[in-house]
Amino acid sequence: MSRPSEKTPKDLAAGQAASPQSPEFSLEQRRTLLGIAHRAILSTLERQPFPDAPPAMPGLTEPRGVFTTLYLHGELRGCVGYVVPIAPLYRAVAETARAAAFEDHRFLPVAKEEALELDISLSVLSRLFPIHPEAVEVGRHGLLLSDGGRRGLLLPQVPVEHGWDRETFLEQTCRKAGLPQNAWRKDATIEAFTAEVFGDTDAGASSR
């Protein structure tokens, strides 16, 4: 689902999990980013260049990791993201939206009639930080687990959607990496991130 990809000890990671966060992005910023995602998909289908000029809005030109998730009539239709902040946020949204629509090999490429019906959700990621397994908080943290050349990532909303507890979340992240489900108890590296998640249903139809 991704195209990659706890800088503190356990007590600080636990403190981060406990502290409430106010939304980073305003309604206008959210609508702008969602509009970029929709237009990136449509411009590809119409074989039109998509303007690369940054939006005249603060906060959208900083490099950030982001996942773009597509839904069609409530069903997953594609999901691709950058864990590492390798591009300005507005451009990362455009690139991951295109990739989710046309390069997620679990699905056929999105057709134009489908593109007009897509609901898009964006997950803007914090930077990765090391975390102790006991500090992982379901619904707050996403996980990146790695061992050798294998890596598995799950977004914060995934365990909530599936009703997993913390241990199951860790096991399923191991499974995503192609590792034994108990690898998190052994030598695997566990990193966490938080995400601000918003979509068309939050920002309103004007994002399209």
- What pLDDT was estimated at residue 5? 35
- Domains, the chain, with CATH or none: 10-19+127-193 (3.30.1490.150), 27-126+196-201 (3.30.700.20)
Confidence (pLDDT) at 17: 36
Work out whether the CA dihedral 64, 130, 142, 18 comes out positive or negative: negative
Number of Cβ within 10 Å of residue 119's Cβ equals 17
CA-based nearest residue to 5, from 92, 106, 118, 77: 92
Q: pLDDT of the chain along its 208 residues, tens only?
A: 434 332 222 332 333 333 346 789 999 999 999 999 999 999 999 999 887 778 888 889 999 999 999 999 999 999 999 988 999 999 999 999 999 999 999 999 999 999 999 999 999 999 899 999 999 999 999 999 999 999 999 999 999 999 999 999 999 999 999 999 999 999 999 999 999 999 998 765 444 4
Residues 9-23 pLDDT 10s = 233 233 333 334 678
Hey, which residues does 197 pair with through a beta bridge? 123
* Residue 1 confidence (pLDDT): 41
Give which of 138, 150, 104, 131 is closest to 191, Cα–Cα.
131
**Both structure tokens of 95:** 């690139």
Q: What local confidence, expressed as pLDDT, does residue 191 receive?
A: 97
Token representation of residue 55: 């939006």
Distance in angstroms (rounded) separating the CA atoms of residues 106 and 64: 25
Give bridge partners of residue 76 from the DSSP assignment.
Answer: 71
